[in-house]
Amino acid sequence: MAKINELTFGSIVVEGKKYHRDVLIFADGMVKRRKAGLRERI
């Protein structure tokens, strides 16, 4: 499981790596940047 080290407005630190965009954190601990435009349509 991935550990979230820090969460601030505009960034997140997961396992020591800082992201400035949305990320997906999977159950197995894998972290990937979320692709733009991945919205659920109503």
Q: Model-level pTM?
A: 0.68
Assess if residue 16 is contained within a domain: yes
Number of domain units in the chain: 1
Residue with tokens 């630190």: 13
Per-residue tokens: 27: 């159950």
In a 10 Å sphere around its CB, with 0-12 CB exposed, 13-18 middle and 19+ buried, how is residue 35 labelled? Answer: exposed
pLDDT, position 7: 92
Residue 41 lies in a domain: no
38 lies in some domain:
no
**Cα separation, 1 vs 36, whole angstroms:** 24
Q: What is the pLDDT of residues 1-27, one digit of tens each?
A: 788 999 999 899 998 999 998 889 898
39 occurs within a structural domain? no
pLDDT, greater one: 42 or 8: 8
Q: Which domain holds residue 18?
A: 4-33
Residue 29, pLDDT above cutoff 80: yes
Residue 14 in any domain: the answer is: yes
